[in-house]
Chain A
Amino acid sequence: MNEIATKIEARFSELGVKVQPSEIETRLDQLINKYKVPPEEARRNVINYFLKQHNIPKTEFFAQRETPVVKVTDIKENEKWVTLRGKVIQLWESTHESVSQVGLLGDESGTIKFTKWTKANLPQVEEGKSYLFKNVITSEWQGQFSIKLNKTSAIEPLKEDIEVGSTPVEHRGAIVDIQSGSGLIKRCPECNRALVKGACGEHGKVEGIYDLRVKAVMDDGDKVQDILLNREVTEALIGITIQKAKEMATEALDQSVVLDLIKSKLVGRYFIVSGKRLDRFILVDTISQDIKPIDEDIKRLLATAASPVAQEA
């Protein structure tokens, strides 16, 4: 409780307001100990009380002064305050009056959706121009990240032109699953979407075009990474052409023979992939079985496993 009081006092004094620590403590004590309010709720209540007393807008109190400058691909957590240097790639039509601008912005590492609230009262941004987006908040929906610009955010135009790209990433791990929709599939001739039971989500029943692809899950023991192999990569890796895959499926009267072959060659083995990130996937350009010699690793690990005392010291 003391700790909470000290923190509240410190924050207020940063804003140039002197609040008596004893008064904070009395209020906290009453709420927490007498009225059994949870500490977090009590803290909030006390802060709000003093904000009102001194007429300080809430946003000023809660605004963070310096938020870390990050790259688009570093955004991996919901509700984090960050600062981004990025170029506005595209502006979309706002669907609601509460949104003043919405679109896509990007930096060297990748792209991300942004939403600028009308209430934020920020200057308009233009397509193709680069800005410093200060103090924006990250947000996650269904595993996808976006940033929101609100009252506490700021936009500063940059002179330089930020090159939007997505640098290829390398990833190592074992393939632990091949997902449905892999193997020999059919695509809609109109929109290239994968057909489900011979029908396209957009165009209904169509005569599909065969394609070969793999959606796999890679796992390095710490985290999982979805990867996507297109036809060329799949053909080279599995060692069959799409023509051969079609023949196999026709012969067996079953497309799943192709999937079984893919699984038997990939699942449970270690691979190194490289490619560009797209949403939760890596679009794989190159993939090879991980055959890096392991002797070095063994020596290094043995050294730590065998000398526990030295480790401890």
Chain B
Amino acid sequence: MADGGFIREVAHRIFAAEFKDANLQAREGSDQYSPQYLLTPTGAKCNRVFIVGTLTEKEDMGTESEFWRGRIVDPTGAFFVTAGQYQPEAAQVLARTTPPEFIAVIGKPNTYTTKEGNVMTSIRAESLQIVDAATRDRWVVDTAKHTMARLEKLKGNEPDAVKAREHYSTNVENYRAMVAQALESVRAQ
């Protein structure tokens, strides 16, 4: 609810290739309830993301209770999405969906550091629903638009842009190519 000055976090649009490259997680504020953010290479500071793609694989990784993990593919790569006992609605939808299927996910970004020191990103689903091809195409265009806007801002002096540049030494051309590739894939034949 919007009581007490609480503002809901915007759901950022990120392509899989960029999301995979992200590894800078930071908490704003110092107590355990302050929100955690994942800063991506193009400078999106996300506490929530919105993605649409094709569910290609799913697996129940849980031992005692269900813990679902799904692989959701967009034109640039794949996202890992998880839903466990604390996301019962999302877990249920994932459990009864047979891949391949178009899926929309709203969730929280998560990172996990492997023994080798690599940072893996995943999304903990808040909501997960089956959608249609038109929604998926619209998401690709929407995400392209937002990514281009962030690349433009990356030249500027906003704190998130500066931080992203410093941490990732972002190769703007690569991400531009990623956007172009994603757009080509949804272009009318």
Q: Which residues of A contact B106 (CB under 8 A)?
A: 176-177, 267-268
Q: Of residues A140, A226, A294, which shows the largest number of chain B Cβ atoms within 10 Å of its Cβ?
A: A294
Chain B residue nearest in CB terms to A265: B129
The answer to whether A219 touches B131, judged by C-beta atoms less than 8 angstroms apart, is no
The answer to whether A305 touches B135, judged by C-beta atoms less than 8 angstroms apart, is no
Q: Which residues of B contact A280 (CB under 8 A)?
A: 2
**Which of these binds chain B: A15-23, A53-61, A296-304?**
A296-304
Partner among A143, A177, A217, A306 whose Cβ is within 8 Å of the Cβ of B180: A306
Beyond A143-B2, A143-B5, whether A294 also contacts B137 by CB under 8 A is yes
Beyond A177-B106, A294-B137, whether A217 also contacts B8 by CB under 8 A is yes
- For residue B31, CB closer than 8 A to chain A, the reply is no
Interface residues on A, range: 20 to 34
Partner among A217, A222, A223, A305 whose Cβ is within 8 Å of the Cβ of B144: A305
The binding surface of chain A is classed by DSSP as mixed
- For residue B187, CB closer than 8 A to chain A, the reply is yes
The answer to whether A305 touches B12, judged by C-beta atoms less than 8 angstroms apart, is no
The answer to whether A308 touches B145, judged by C-beta atoms less than 8 angstroms apart, is no
- Complex Cα spacing A171 to B180, Å: 27
Chain A residue nearest in CB terms to B145: A301
Q: Which residues of A contact B176 (CB under 8 A)?
A: 305-306, 308
In the assembled complex, the CB of B137 is this many whole angstroms from the nearest CB of chain A, namely 6
Partner among B12, B135, B139, B183 whose Cβ is within 8 Å of the Cβ of A298: B183
Q: Of residues A142, A224, A267, which shows the largest number of chain B Cβ atoms within 10 Å of its Cβ?
A: A267
The answer to whether A305 touches B180, judged by C-beta atoms less than 8 angstroms apart, is yes
Chain A residue nearest in CB terms to B13: A221
The answer to whether A291 touches B134, judged by C-beta atoms less than 8 angstroms apart, is yes
- For residue A264, CB closer than 8 A to chain B, the reply is yes
Partner among A142, A177, A290, A308 whose Cβ is within 8 Å of the Cβ of B2: A142
Chain A residue nearest in CB terms to B12: A221
- For residue B59, CB closer than 8 A to chain A, the reply is no
In the assembled complex, the CB of B27 is this many whole angstroms from the nearest CB of chain A, namely 21
Q: Of residues A223, A280, A295, A298, which shows the largest number of chain B Cβ atoms within 10 Å of its Cβ?
A: A298
In the assembled complex, the CB of B133 is this many whole angstroms from the nearest CB of chain A, namely 12
Q: Which residues of B contact A264 (CB under 8 A)?
A: 93, 129-130
Chain B residue nearest in CB terms to A144: B2
Interface set, chain B 70-85, CB cutoff 8 A to A = none
Pairs across A and B, CB under 8 Å, 16 listed = A143-B3, A143-B5, A174-B104, A174-B139, A263-B89, A268-B127, A268-B135, A270-B135, A270-B139, A280-B2, A290-B138, A294-B138, A298-B186, A301-B144, A302-B184, A305-B176
The interface of chain B, by Cβ under 8 A from chain A, is 2-5, 7-8, 10-13, 48, 50, 52, 89, 93, 103-106, 126-132, 134-135, 137-139, 141-142, 144-146, 148, 172-173, 176-177, 179-180, 183-184, 186-188
With A142-B3, A290-B138, A298-B141 given, name 12 new contacts (CB 8 A): A140-B5, A142-B5, A177-B126, A219-B10, A222-B10, A268-B104, A268-B128, A270-B138, A291-B134, A297-B141, A301-B145, A301-B179
